[in-house]
Structure 1
Amino acid sequence: MKFHASNLPLLDWSGDALIIGLSEDALPLTGTLAELNSRVSGLLQDLIDDVEFTGKDGATAITRLGGGVGFRKLGLVGLGASNAMTAETLRRAAAAAARLAKKEKSAALGLSMPIVHNDPALTAQALAEGARLALHHDSRFKSEDKNGKATVEHIHLLGLADQESSLQTAQAICDGVILARELVSAPANIVTPETLAQTAQDIAAAHGLELEVLEQAQCEALGMGAYLGVARASDLPPKFIHLTYRPAGTPTRKLAIVGKGLTFDSGGLNIKGAGSGIEMMKIDMGGAAAMLGAAKAIAQLKPDAEVHFISAAAENMISGNAMRPGDILTASNGKTIEVNNTDAEGRLTLADALVFAEKLGVDAIVDLATLTGACIIALGDDIAGLFSENEELAGAIATAAKAAGEKFWRLPMEEKYFDGLKSIVADMKNTGPRPGGSITAALFLKQFVTTTPWVHLDVAGPVWTEKESGYNNPGGTGFGVRTLVQWVLGPS
């Protein structure tokens, strides 16, 4: 699929399908659209009347034309109220248009959309992101691909000339999102700790990044007892991934992104039972997937920040060597943890990863993890939890998320809830009472960051979807990549 940005008027464009974005207050037709309606013998107005098109956000309609114009089909996508239009509105509109064009077997699609916030660059980037992500189709594990490849080969962004840089930015971001989607969607017999390390190696080799992969003995030497306690029951060795992007000049900031990398979570000896969703535990590396996707995008976009990408990758399995409920593990900062639930393993791996990240002397740390079912109960499948005691960093992530079109909700770090994690025999337990489970998980992680500004993102809900929605298709969503990239790039 190739994007073309030009100032060609929509009345002069030729191709297979022209799709126009209309807001609720763009009717009745005036100006160029009234002229277009006249050229197509009133079929545009007929289409609006026949389907009672009002410009409602997400509404679509399309009709076949006769001769007299340079395209065979004419479609509409609703944008909602014009005063509420954002870049996310355009991402979703472009996704709807791209899917409509694919359904209509249109190889060449012309998109005519309003300029959002008087910013042609932002508009072009949003349209390209929405269309490309909507048309991404993962059929790697199907013997017969009934859905077929996308038939849309060329997308022309009309009225948006000289936006090649924005299209390149969109391409890089989509590369990262698609990588994260495919890592999450792949089964655990395909994506292993070794696979994550190899993916990091591929990114490093392609874009000149530095890579360090610590093997088990090296992790033991660093005292990573919490991480290794989780990993020890698996036949697959753990891989501690440290991928580094360095800018050409002196970095303006030094950042760390830590992703939870449990490539499969059986629950350990507290094994997940029927109805627990154990068959979906391939998604438990959604944080690491987003981290690697962000690395791939950032490596291409070349911001002026230095970024460290970290994941303590492992499996949580069952064997005679498995950690037991009641065991005490010692993390690399010397803190001791009584394991009262082996199915609360992600926070154990993150503990040593956070200690490692802080020792790098970074200015800020963000971790992403499919950490708790409690966060899904609180916020549902579409919204991730944001935890931080640092107002500036929490605000920066929230601003980046809004620009990226990803939803987070800030939850409290209620310190008294840590009482539920106190242990008689160790510094802490790895789980607390059932109420406020996502908060106590965040408070557990807090014990492994001392002074560095830190944000914890619980992305358990949004990393996977069962249905087509917006620009996501069923499967891994790549959630978190766009927010991370936007945060590293800084305010636009």
Structure 2
Amino acid sequence: MHPKMASSIVASSSSFSSILTTQFLTPSSFSSLFLKTLTLRSSTPFQRLSFASQPLRRLMARATLGLTLPANTESLKVSFAAKELDVAEWKGDLLAVGVTEKDVARNVESRFENAILSALDSKLGGLLGQVSSEEDFSGKLGQSTVLRIASGLGFKRVALLGLGASASTTSAFKSLGEAVAAAAKSAQAGHVAVALASPDALSTESKPKTASAIASGTLLGTFEDNRYKSESKKSVLSSVDIIGLGTGPELEKKLKYAADISSGIILGRELVNSPANVLTPGVLAEEASKIASTYNDVFTAKILDAEQCKELKMGSYLGVAAASANPPHFIHLCYKPPTGPVNVKLALVGKGLTFDSGGYNIKTGPGCLIELMKFDMGGSAAVFGAAKALGQIKPLGVEVHFIVAACENMISGTGMRPGDIVTASNGKTIEVNNTDAEGRLTLADALVYACNQGAEKIVDLATLTGACIIGLGSSIAGVFTPSDDLAKEVFDASEASGEKLWRLPLEESYWESMKSGVADMVNTGGRPGSAITAALFLKQFVDEKVQWMHIDMAGPVWNEKQRCATGFGVATLVEWVLRNAS
């Protein structure tokens, strides 16, 4: 399900350019391996460091409903080179220029005032200015114009891509990368260059981050999940030159980081995209085990079955899993740094409902989204995507626990009924007044387990409530935490990653609606403030000494326009872990 992956870095000793080559081998099947090869080249003789996993023996039965397995897909190979040269002298298929509204300003002779656009326009005999005027290109965000160039020049096409009034954020430059990927796909361009019309508007310190964001956006924009299509077109994009943002070791490091993060996001997308008849709890556990197998210098894996969970008194989690023919798998990956001491212990807990029917409170009616409930494991996808990226980055000084209580919420004679009382592993009892509020029941035991691992800080991610979608829409995740310090850490990480979060209150007075007459609590309150009461429920299963945050990502997990997963959460989680590393 996840990509078979290879990446290499080639760093030239020349001050002219530095090259990062990232090879994405998109998934061949569930039996595919992670493969990572790292090659360093400088003025000294070759040094080669290779990491490769051995084939992982099938631990779980293959899903057979519908006879569907992901197809062998063609590999996606993209190399990146950072260069300093005259944009007008570049040679290749497509030259893409990021342009702000200010950049397209004209002088009294109706010529571009911007030096780069003016040079390009002169080389094209004024054609660039003419076409941009005819097409009313003003640099607004999302605008683009592509010009086919006559033979004899260094490049075949030039594209102006609008950045809006200004561009300085990670998300803005990721969007530019995605626009570059779209333009390259439309033009069937193999060799592409990206430049900014006003690179001097950026500080020297911000340029490597900008290049990284553009590279990440280009990779993610180029990727298409075609594993379940009978026919698919292979991307022809093979190389991208990033011009005018510098060269050298710091930039190379940032481009490698973009590749590592993108590989984790792609894994997250593929996990969520896979249908529930393929991605069962057992297969999700198997995919997690592959991460540990591939990066076994820093990862260990523990997979608990139902009997082992019963021994740990996880009645809340097992209650949800009871109706399904596919057994639950409680997944625990542990990252420890390859060298040095551990200064802080973190835990990432992801909701792992590989399908949610709603149980006896079955999802019915318009807007219930039952056909999309494969994405109810989006939290676990973010957690495992982050694990994959961190396995490549290998930060020091931090121990990270990745915890997912994977199961399905189905209907059968053995299933949990409305009105049942379940007992969580911390001894608290829960009256189940709605079987479709099952995610918090699985997270309850997962959070108790995380605390028992000695985690000092815990972030959980879940597609938990429709209320968060209503309140914040499809682009922003809701955040709940009693810790201002943890909020600052994670929001700083999200700003760097370009993912959008919004903090919501943990209003304690709302807990009144969660009280039961026969148990310690019910699992749902009324409709008002239901995202808040869901977070308050989770808080009951976290040790008071532990800093904890809940992220409700029900909105941004899915791109409705593209009808596929976003990989949301991976980048922020990795950034947060790295900021806690030494």
TM-score with structure 2 length normalisation? 0.81
Q: Shift in Å at residue 274 of structure 1?
A: 3.1
| Partners of 2:344 and 2:580 within 8 A in 1 | no
More moved, 245-254 vs 222-231: 245-254
Structure 2 match to 1:236: 326
Q: Shift in Å at residue 491 of structure 1?
A: 8.4
More moved, 319-328 vs 59-68: 59-68
2:340 aligned with 1:249? yes
Structure 2 match to 1:31: 115
**Structure 1: distance between partners of 2:436 and 2:580:** 38
Q: Shift in Å at residue 409 of structure 1?
A: 1.0
Structure 2 match to 1:366: 459
**Structure 1: distance between partners of 2:386 and 2:262:** 10
Name the % identity.
52
Structure 2 match to 1:157: 242
2:264 aligned with 1:213? no
Aligned pair partner of 2:192 in 91, 103, 109: 109
| CA deviations over 1:144-175 (Å, ceiling 9, x no partner) | 22xx1222111111123222221110011001
| Partners of 1:58 and 1:79 within 8 A in 2 | yes
Letter in 2 for 1:315: E
**Structure 1: distance between partners of 2:480 and 2:132:** 46
| CA deviations over 1:405-455 (Å, ceiling 9, x no partner) | 111111110001010000000000001111111000000000000220000
Structure 2 match to 1:476: 565
**Structure 2: distance between partners of 1:447 and 1:182:** 33
More moved, 36-45 vs 189-198: 36-45
2:320 aligned with 1:227? no
Query: Where does the alignment leave 5 or more consecutive residues of structure 2 unmatched?
Result: 1-77, 107-111
| Partners of 1:101 and 1:109 within 8 A in 2 | yes
Structure 2 match to 1:44: 128
> What aligned pairs does 1:392-471 form with structure 2 within 5 A after superposition?
392-451=485-544, 452-468=546-562
More moved, 107-116 vs 366-375: 107-116
**Structure 2: distance between partners of 1:289 and 1:184:** 7
Letter in 2 for 1:245: Y
| CA deviations over 1:24-69 (Å, ceiling 9, x no partner) | 1113323233222111111221222121211112211111112442
| CA deviations over 1:342-364 (Å, ceiling 9, x no partner) | 11100000000000001111120
**Structure 2: distance between partners of 1:271 and 1:475:** 24
Structure 1 match to 2:260: 172
Number of equivalenced pairs = 484
> What aligned pairs does 1:286-325 form with structure 2 within 5 A after superposition?
286-304=378-396, 305-325=398-418
Structure 1 match to 2:361: 270
| CA deviations over 1:298-342 (Å, ceiling 9, x no partner) | 111111221110000001111111011111111000000001111
Q: Secondary structure at the match of 2:464?
A: coil
| Partners of 2:170 and 2:495 within 8 A in 1 | no
Aligned pair partner of 2:288 in 200, 207, 212: 200
Aligned pair partner of 1:132 in 216, 219, 234: 219
**Structure 2: distance between partners of 1:252 and 1:58:** 44
**Structure 1: distance between partners of 2:180 and 2:318:** 48
Q: Secondary structure at the match of 1:262?
A: strand
| Partners of 1:213 and 1:242 within 8 A in 2 | yes
Q: Secondary structure at the match of 1:321?
A: coil
Q: Shift in Å at residue 121 of structure 1?
A: 1.4
2:87 aligned with 1:10? yes
Structure 2 match to 1:350: 443
Which structure is higher in RCO with an 8 Å CA cutoff and minimum separation 6?
Answer: 1
**Structure 1: distance between partners of 2:116 and 2:502:** 42
Letter in 2 for 1:8: L
More moved, 279-288 vs 34-43: 34-43
2:233 aligned with 1:142? no
2:326 aligned with 1:326? no
Structure 1 match to 2:207: 120
**Structure 2: distance between partners of 1:101 and 1:46:** 22
| Partners of 2:169 and 2:498 within 8 A in 1 | no
Q: Shift in Å at residue 291 of structure 1?
A: 0.5
| Partners of 1:400 and 1:491 within 8 A in 2 | no
2:171 aligned with 1:88? yes
Q: Shift in Å at residue 98 of structure 1?
A: 1.5
Q: Shift in Å at residue 13 of structure 1?
A: 1.2
State the superposition RMSD in angstroms. Answer: 1.4
In terms of fraction of residues, the more helix-rich structure is: 1
**Structure 2: distance between partners of 1:385 and 1:96:** 27
In terms of fraction of residues, the more strand-rich structure is: 2
Q: Secondary structure at the match of 1:172?
A: helix
Q: Secondary structure at the match of 2:164?
A: coil
Letter in 1 for 2:378: G
**Structure 2: distance between partners of 1:92 and 1:363:** 35
Q: Secondary structure at the match of 2:210?
A: helix
| Partners of 1:236 and 1:315 within 8 A in 2 | yes
**Structure 2: distance between partners of 1:370 and 1:240:** 18
**Structure 2: distance between partners of 1:214 and 1:117:** 50
| Partners of 2:331 and 2:403 within 8 A in 1 | yes
More moved, 431-440 vs 107-116: 107-116
**Structure 1: distance between partners of 2:190 and 2:271:** 29
Structure 2 match to 1:471: none
TM-score with structure 1 length normalisation? 0.96
| CA deviations over 1:198-250 (Å, ceiling 9, x no partner) | 11111111111110111111111111000001111111111100001111211
**Structure 1: distance between partners of 2:379 and 2:444:** 14
Letter in 1 for 2:579: G
Query: Where does the alignment leave 5 or more consecutive residues of structure 1 unmatched?
Result: 469-473
| Partners of 1:261 and 1:287 within 8 A in 2 | yes
**Structure 1: distance between partners of 2:548 and 2:440:** 15
**Structure 1: distance between partners of 2:484 and 2:253:** 33
